[in-house]
Structure 1
């Protein structure tokens, strides 16, 4: 299967299926010398694992990560890092019925068209469980970025009609509610809305917002590998994402240039934007200000309400999808968005190290010597 690898220098390849023996990722291009333990990665995986509230799937998985290669005596060796999480709570029989029909909103039909065959137990590679590999790799990327003073923070901006109020914005509140909203009142209203959806045997969509701080100006490549374009691709590769916007996003279509342009000024001898409508990039290259983007997540397609579909014999039928599913995707996807952003920024920073001859000469000016 093509399409399971992301990145040019910091390259990651995810593997595994929702109901297979396990899922994981191979990271190539990680620099040697990074202090790394399984706990560093587990912190991120714990944020996305199921069964933590009534708004996540009841599937019980510890999602315990194992480092299989690439780390020696607590530090990365510069060789490929292989990470694995074993599946321990598969209930494939819950999905045996869907082998004969196509679930609305799922990839069943398109996988059959592409491969002539599909893993119907939990969706196989199209399952949200595939994101475990992304999060594990993103945890490593985020740790490298932290060494350079770069931080990435995502949160749930809205659920259905309920949106956070920035006057009540408090990131510490995210850990106090089950929907990862940095606004306690909005979180309560959102959870009430989800309870109504559940009572109607339905699901709900949401928006995740992400802020990247500390990225220096100059990250990103012209044309096809713009930072903005690669962020969009990375975020859109998350299964349930249906929309992406950077900075003012779609609102720019209603603005005038005089309002949308970000003026420049000087601060402490450095050029600085006085506003940030562009969301932290110009020409697709980072401009030194905060990078701000949003991702729109569709409602969970697996719902118990009856839906119209067809089976593999071409007969029109009605179905009620069984199994263990999230009633909403956005809150658990917050950490996935962070990790996809980390992978994208780090890879482009590594690619950009060859952009200027003077910096290459400076790097190679002294002979390389082994550490004592």
Structure 2
């Protein structure tokens, strides 16, 4: 550390308190909690809950730092907090692999007596479950995945817990408001896919892989699941397939920014009809109406909607054909060069 480093606040052995592990813990954990928000919540409708899973994760990280530190090492324990997050540094390298830390089930404390001390106070997870608890708490908040770094040269372990969101809050709120329980029912991977699709106006497999630690196969299965449930719509060939929210489900981030720049007159008079951002059911109904009097080709329907033919084929024709609302002019040859579509309940032209 440079000699010009200045601390806004610190807990150190300055002679004003008994410098033992437990008192250090009680002082340090309160300082760490100051970096976390506490939403208003009641337990049993009576008692306020002042602790979140994130608080428990920070406490677990601090206890683990004290339990697994090598007290005969060359350096000391340091716990750092800044606006970007937390860093827990203890002398001594891991006694298990990083994968075992995050998966849990393996407990290999460097200081069993210290672990027992905190266990008497019901502090610290047992049976190696602390790592999964930290990982789960950070994932629920959509924060960057916790990172374990072994500094072999200095024989130190660094646990970094960043308060940096992987997902923009505005997009989280927009998707949650639009699909409700379907969003809450999704696991972390599903939520990342949905929110990123909103924030970036579509998402690809590689982008999800860069945001999560999920296996590529799991990402593929999750995207397919979201498509089956109607939460995402896929377009394009397999290698460059892009996934987007269904039109009308929720405004994209781009649409929101454009909408905020429009005058109230434009928004009320022309935006909905000329740009087509109506509810999806209304748009599908409009396609059926357009195709009622006569056969309509894909380019004609795309022009009427003001959308690309590929989008119309995937997001409009496919569901309407699937539910039997539209029929093909050449049903035995879907790729016929003169293929056209008509409402199923329309009378044959005379």
Report the TM-score when normalising by structure 2.
0.20
The answer to which structure has the higher strand fraction is 1
Higher relative contact order (CA 8 A, sep 6+): 1
Q: Which has the larger radius of gyration?
A: 2
The answer to which structure has the higher helix fraction is 2
Report the TM-score when normalising by structure 1.
0.20
